[in-house]
Amino acid sequence: MGRFIYEGTVKIEIEDRALAHVQFIIADKLRRDEAFPFTWQDDASLGQGRTAVWLNSRSNLVFKYYGSRLPELNRQWLEALAKEANSLTGLRLVPEPETNETFASGAESD
């Protein structure tokens, strides 16, 4: 289980594989200097609401992984997440589509 930390105070735990996909999408958008919201459902301990943060190139972000292996990335999941990130409501973590089309996390996408 990994952790996404925004501005040192807002934190969410996300499974390492999902976090790697979220990081890829966030990095891709910020590399192009595109600002956007990232929204998630809060844990029941926080009241089962939701949190939204505004991400831009000046945001202080930390992606903390607890596993040591770099996961392969699912191209279809990245496409689904990118579609979310480009929508008016912004990035939300959607379920991973079933596919065999993966590539190493250190590789460039087309």
pLDDT at res. 103: 63
Which residue ranges in the chain fall short of pLDDT 50? 107-110
pLDDT at res. 110: 43
Close Cβ partners of 84 (under 8 Å, ≥ 6 residues apart): 90, 91, 92, 94
Domain range summary for the chain, segments of one domain joined by +: 2-104
pTM for this prediction: 0.86
Q: Whats the size of the chain, residue-wise?
A: 110
